[in-house]
Each structure stands twice: as C-alpha cells, then as structure tokens.
C-alpha cells in the first residue's frame, strides 16, 4: 500500500493503522469513509477527537476517565465513599456498574503488574491507593483485578502494602473461572461474586 | 475398549486405507520407511489429536493432496459400541475433530477418552537427553488425568517467565529490588510446592509397579530405581526463594525451583545412562512405559491401547516373548506391534498359540496376511 496517490491520504491511513486491531486495508476503508462525510460531519468527527485530547480528565479521586476533575461516581454523595473497589481500567467499572450490585466508589490502577509488558508498581496508580488506605477513613478495599497470575500478583502487592491498615481487604469470589477478565464475565456471575467477596487473608496462606 | 475399524485418506504416505482390526493383537510388518510408523501415528492421532512426531500439521497430508482424514470405529468406550472418532484437516484450515459426527468444541475435551500408551525407539531420549525431556514426559502422564496439575504447571511457567524478565530488567537497569521479586515468590512457592508434592506422590505410586515390570522382564537380575531430584524436596520453598535472591541477581534468571527438577534413572545404584547396556536400557524404558500403562488403566478404568513401535530390535527373544505373553494373559488390552521381520513374528506366535491379525505394509498399500 505504498503507492497511494496522495500523501495526505497516506498519512491519515497510517494514523488509523496505529490503532490496535486495525490493519492497513481497514484503515484505508475507514479513511475513504470519512472522506465521503459531509463537511459538517467531518467537523464533528474531528471535534470529538480534539475534545478528547484537550478536555478529558482523569478523576482526581479514582483516576477514572471523566469530563470533570471529579467523576460522577466520586461526586455522588449517595455512594458509600468508605468502600473502594480496585480495578484495572474503565472497562471493569462499566462491567461492575452494569451489575447494580455495588454502591461504593472505585480506584483505577491503569493496568496490572507485568514485567513482560514492562509494567511495574511505579507505572501504576498505586501509591495514592495506599495513602487512601492509611488515612483511616476506609472500611473496606475490594480487589477486583483479573484472576490471572498477574492479577493475583498485583493483589498480593497491594495487600502487602496495606495489610497493617485498620480496614477489611477482600477479593471478589472466584466464581469467575481462571483467566477470565472481568469485562467478559456475565452480569449475574459478576454480581454474585461481588456479593460473595471473601477476606483476602483467607486465600493467602502466608503473611 | 478397542479399535475395530481404521480408515485413512491421504494420511502421510497412505492413499485410501480400510482396516478391520483384531480386538487383541495386531501386527504391522514391513521394511523400514514403508509407513509402519505412520500407521501407528494415525492411531495415536485419534487419541491425542496430534501426531506423535509432532510435525507441522500440513506435513501429515499426503504429497500433492489437499486434505487428510482419519476415521476410527471403537467398541466399548464407556460401554458404548461403534463410536466413530474422526479427524480431518484441509490444507490451510483448522483441524476438525468429531465424536459420532459431532464436532468437539475443544480438543481438550477429547483427550483421555481413548487412553493410549506408546513404546517406541524414541523413548531412548528419556535416558539420553536433558532433564526437560524427563520432566515433560512425567508431566504429560500426570496432567493427562489431573487438570488441576496442568493448571498449576501453566501458571508456574507464567510466573517463572515474569520473574525471569524482571530479573533481567533489573540487571539491565542496575537496580536490584528484592521486594519486587518477592511479590512473585509468593505465587511461585505456592505453585512450586504443589507441583513438587504431586510429582513425589506420582512417582511414589508408579515406582513399585515399574520395578515389578522390570523384574518380570529380566527375571530380577538387577535392581532399578527412579529418583525424583528436586531442590524443593524437604525445604521451605518460600524461604529458599528468598535465600536465592542474591544468586538469581547475578544469574539473571530464577535458579531455584521445580523447573530444575530431574528424574534420575538408576540400575544397581548407578546411572543407567552410563552403566546400563543397550538391552538393559531398553528393558528399563519398556518397564517404565508398562507402569504408565497400569497407572493409566487404574485411573481411566479401562485398558489403554498399546502401541509397540519397532521395539524388538536389539531385544532378546525371551523379553519379546514375555511382553507378548502379557497380552495373552489378558494383562494388556488391544496391542499394535510393528516389526520388520515377518519370520520373527511367525515363530513367536507359533510358540504362544495366540490369535492375532497380521498386516503386510508395502509402499502405502496394506494387505492383511492373517
Ligand atoms: Zn472518580
């Protein structure tokens, strides 16, 4: 696909091609599609991405993607701010919110520990969580990370850093089979496993 | 349980083949390179969903053809007769596996349904090659009927891979952080300890059966032993991992753990690799495989199919007779034997007076002799 007639076209195709799961062929199709938009359609398309770049916030409290400094969940006084559910990213929040079983707030790590992917604790939104735990106003932290080796390791790292704090540390019940990501768990299973959460200490034999 | 009918289409060097098999003993006779091993491989394939020789899938298709298919009809699979197991592969597509014409969702669901043990000249690798071959062999035998063990192995390897990358990264960045390493040690010790215990238990069960078979084959001339060697034996796994941090730091990989395990094959207290004759080594391996047969039978409650692929060379006639006598005694189920010498087989059976079928294999054609 090196022989496109236009350099501008090629640039746009290359940009779409950077997206995960989008090959050059699909990228070209998308770009041609956009070229066929009306002028106002093109404007709104571009505006959406400009706003995404300039105006998006990461919630100061939970690190969730938000339009304001504080996201609607953290800003909601009806939610229980003493219970924090720790998740990998926004997709997990969407999955848990869909269950309507959880009334606390969240903490978004932005990933999980995985040396293979070059991600260590310092690359994650980890230390602000420890500060929240040490402030002494929390009742419970629920660890809702994927039930993979990396998820378990991240759970363990968090647990080791806050085990002395005066609060309950729980993990969602393992109704979800090994390797399943929260995002793909069905709502009933996920809802039930949130209700049946268990003390993290129970599953860590060693302290 | 036994394989009643075998049909091949374009599998390796065969065109179209239709065989009616004997419920007890089947001989495949032919010169080297005519496809005896390929025929054995087709039977293996129906049990394990892959070739024993692990070649690139498309290489299993006959030259200049674009698909292969294997159909096996079995009697007495969980008291069901005429069970049809089919496998087919079209060049460039995925392999399709069917139980009574219904496709399996996952190949893993099939494995274990038709237990099978193969004894072949490749078994010598277990003595001659490195520890990973022995670990892989024992792991495959254990995990075939223990999915939790398989899970533990997969997870252990994942932790090991992560931990090794971490060690390498820390080395490259000139900053060693024991605490970061320790968070992996927690899971590594949980998993490693369970794997260690399972291996000890398995070998403990297998060893007496193995020794009994060896004595049976050799009339008890030598004392044989399989020792499970592991850094983890009788140690506090977690503490050992921590104690080895310094060593790991310089090695840039994990130096302690069950990934270093080995199984030591011994005869009269010496490693059989150096001190055993070729015949003794062969008997050792056959006894090991027959012990695997018993183990598989105990768990699956059915006698596995047994493939004896070209193992009679360099084995004295008495031992060969003893193995075949096992089949006559009803200790074995259905047996498939391949050999190069028709006269050797005929004289054996003249002595044993067993009923059997014999197939002559010549350049991709098979003719039933008996
Ligand atoms: Zn928030």
- R_g of chain B computed on alpha carbons: 23
Answer yes or no: is B63 within a domain: yes
Q: Mind listing the pLDDT tens digit for each residue in A25-68?
A: 999 999 999 999 999 999 999 999 999 999 999 999 999 999 99
Is 3.20.20.60 the CATH number for A70-203?
no
User: Is residue A181's pLDDT more than 70?
Assistant: no
CATH of the domain at B311: 3.40.50.300
- CB contact (8 A) between residue B190 and residue A205: yes
Q: What is the DSSP string of A61-87?
A: TT--EESSSS-HHHH-TTSEEEEEEEE
Q: Is the pLDDT of residue A142 over 50?
A: yes
Check whether residue B218 and residue B352 sit in a common domain.
Answer: no
- Looking at residue A206, what is its pLDDT? 38
ipTM over 0.85: no
- Are the beta carbons of A183 and A88 closer than 8 angstroms? no
Q: Give the mean pLDDT of B298-305.
A: 92
Q: What's the pLDDT score for residue A207? A: 33
d(CA B127, CA B194): 26
Minimum-distance CB partner of B187 among A115, A153, A178: A153
Beta-carbon contacts of residue A182 (< 8 Å; ≥ 6 apart): A87, A88, A91, A92, A95, A96, A144, A146, A176, A190
Instruction: Tell me the per-residue pLDDT of B100-126, one tens digit each, with 9 for 90 and over.
Output: 999 998 888 888 899 999 999 999 999
Whether residues B235 and B340 fall in one domain? no
User: 3.40.50.720, 2.40.37.20, 1.10.8.420, 3.30.365.10: which CATH number matches A7-55?
Assistant: 1.10.8.420
pLDDT of residue A191: 66
Asked if residue B109 belongs to a domain, the reply is yes
B107 and B145 together in one domain: no
C-alpha A46 to ligand 1 mean position (Å): 27
pLDDT digits (tens, 9 = 90+) for A88-100: 999 999 989 988 8
Q: Are B108 and B132 in the same domain?
A: no
Give the start-to-end residue ranges of the domains of chain A: 7-55, 70-203
Same domain, residue pair B106 and B136:
no
Asked whether residue B207 carries a pLDDT value surpassing 50, the answer given is: yes
- State the pLDDT at residue B112: 86
Q: Which range among A192-201, B88-97, B223-232, B270-279 shows the weakest confidence by mean pLDDT?
A: A192-201
* B332-354 CB burial, b ≥16 within 10 A, e <16: bbbbbbbbeeeeebeebbeeeee
Q: How far is CA B238 from CA B102, B190, B242, B260, in A?
A: 47, 8, 6, 16
pLDDT tens figures, B325-363: 888 788 899 999 999 888 888 887 787 778 889 999 987
**A144 CA to centre of ligand 1 in angstroms:** 16
For B231-255, what is the mean pLDDT? 95
| Total structural domains within chain B | 2
User: At residue A136, does pLDDT exceed 90?
Assistant: no
pLDDT of residue A189: 67
Please tell me whether residue B46 adopts helix, strand or coil conformation: helix
B7, pLDDT greater than 80: yes
- Residue B95: phi and psi, rounded to 5, are -80, 140
The last residue of a domain, from among B249, B272, B295: B272
Q: From CA B331, how far away is CA B107, in angstroms rounded?
A: 30
Q: Higher-confidence residue: B321 or B205? A: B205
Q: What is the pLDDT of residue A184?
A: 59
Interface of B with A in 235-264 (CB under 8 A): 238
CA–CA distance, B28 with B309 (Å, rounded to integer): 9
B309 pLDDT more than 60? yes
- CB pair distance less than 8 Å for B161 and A121: no
Instruction: Note the pLDDT of residue A177.
Output: 45
What local confidence, expressed as pLDDT, does residue B221 receive? 81
Do A116 and B162 make contact, defined as CB atoms within 8 angstroms?
yes
Residue B288: pLDDT over 80: yes
What number is the average pLDDT over the span A157-182? 75
Distance (angstroms) between ligand 1 centre and the Cα of A83 equals 13
Q: Are residues B187 and B323 in the same domain?
A: no
Q: What is the mean pLDDT of residues B282-299?
A: 94
B183 CB near a chain A CB, below 8 Å?
yes
Structural domain for B141, as ranges:
128-272
Residue B348: the pLDDT is 79
B165 touches chain A (CB under 8 A): yes
Question: Mean per-residue pLDDT for B39-44?
Answer: 94
Q: What is the CATH number for B214?
A: 1.20.1050.90
Does B132 share its domain with B110?
Answer: no
Q: How far apart are CA B297 and CA B47, in angstroms?
A: 15
A204 band by pLDDT with thresholds 50, 70 and 90 = low
Residue B291 domain-assigned (yes or no): no
Give yes or no: residues B148 and B255 share one domain.
yes
Q: Around ion ligand 1, which residues have CB less than 5 A away?
A: A 59, 61-62, 64, 71, 74
State residue B69's pLDDT score: 95
Beta bridge partners of B257: none
Three-state SS for A59?
Answer: coil
| Closest CB to A116 among B161, B180, B190 | B161
Furthest-apart CA atoms within chain B: distance in Å: 74
Residues B162 and B50 in one domain: no
In a domain, B239, yes or no: yes
Contact in structure between B206 and B296 (CB atoms under 8 Å)? no
A71-75, A163-167, B200-204: range with lowest mean pLDDT: A163-167
């Amino acid at each position: 696909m090196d022989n496109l007639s236009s350099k501008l076209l090629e640039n746009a195709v290359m940009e779409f091609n950077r997206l995960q799961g989008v090959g050059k062929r699909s990228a070209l199709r998308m770009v041609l599609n956009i070229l066929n938009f009306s002028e106002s359609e093109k404007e709104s398309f571009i505006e959406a991405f400009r706003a995404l770049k300039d105006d998006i916030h990461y919630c100061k409290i939970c690190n969730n993607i938000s339009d304001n400094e504080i996201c609607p969940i953290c800003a909601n006084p009806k939610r229980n701010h003493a219970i924090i559910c720790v998740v990998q990213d926004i997709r997990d929040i969407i999955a848990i919110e869909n269950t309507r079983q959880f009334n606390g707030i969240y903490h978004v790590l932005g990933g999980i520990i995985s040396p293979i992917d070059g991600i260590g604790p310092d690359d994650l939104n980890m230390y602000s969580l420890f500060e929240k735990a040490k402030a002494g106003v929390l009742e419970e932290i629920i660890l809702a990370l994927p039930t993979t080796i990396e998820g378990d390791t991240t759970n363990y790292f968090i647990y080791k850093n806050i085990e002395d704090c005066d609060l309950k540390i729980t993990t969602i019940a393992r109704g979800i089979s090994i390797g399943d990501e929260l995002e793909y768990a069905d709502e009933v299973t996920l809802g039930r496993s949130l209700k049946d959460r268990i003390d993290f200490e129970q599953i860590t034999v060693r302290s | 349980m036994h394989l009643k009918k075998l049909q091949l289409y374009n599998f390796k060097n065969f065109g179209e083949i239709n065989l009616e098999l004997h419920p007890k003993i089947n001989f495949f006779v032919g010169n080297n390179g005519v496809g005896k091993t390929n025929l054995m491989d087709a039977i293996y394939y129906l049990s394990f969903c892959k070739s024993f020789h692990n070649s690139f899938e498309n290489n299993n298709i006959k030259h200049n053809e674009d698909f292969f298919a294997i159909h096996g009809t079995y009697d007495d699979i969980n008291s069901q007769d005429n069970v049809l197991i089919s496998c087919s592969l079209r060049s460039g597509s995925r392999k399709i596996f069917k139980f009574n014409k219904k496709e399996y969702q996952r190949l893993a669901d099939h494995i274990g349904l038709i237990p099978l043990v193969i004894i072949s000249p490749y078994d010598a690798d277990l003595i001659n090659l490195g520890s990973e071959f022995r670990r892989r062999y024992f792991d495959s035998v254990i995990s075939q009927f223990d999915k939790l063990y398989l899970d533990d192995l997969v997870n252990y390897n994942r932790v090991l891979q992560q931990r090794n990358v971490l060690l390498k990264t820390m080395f490259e960045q000139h900053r060693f952080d024991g605490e970061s390493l320790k968070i992996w040690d927690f899971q590594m010790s949980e998993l490693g300890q369970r794997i260690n215990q399972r291996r000890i238990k398995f070998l403990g069960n297998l060893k007496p059966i193995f020794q009994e078979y060896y004595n049976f084959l050799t009339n008890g001339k030598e004392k044989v032993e399989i020792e499970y060697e592991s850094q983890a034996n009788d140690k506090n796994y977690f503490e050992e991992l921590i104690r080895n941090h310094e060593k790991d730091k310089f090695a840039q990989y994990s130096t302690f753990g069950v990934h270093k395990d080995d199984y030591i094959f011994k005869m009269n207290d010496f490693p059989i690799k150096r001190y055993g004759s070729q015949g003794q080594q062969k008997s050792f391996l056959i006894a090991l495989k027959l012990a695997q047969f018993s183990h598989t039978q105990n768990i699956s409650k059915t006698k596995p199919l047994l493939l004896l692929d070209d193992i009679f060379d360099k084995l004295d006639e008495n031992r060969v007779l003893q193995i075949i006598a096992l089949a006559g005694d009803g200790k074995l189920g259905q047996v498939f034997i391949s050999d190069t010498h028709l006269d050797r087989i005929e004289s054996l059976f003249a002595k044993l007076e067993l009923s059997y079928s014999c197939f002559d294999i010549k350049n991709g054609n098979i003719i039933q002799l008996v």
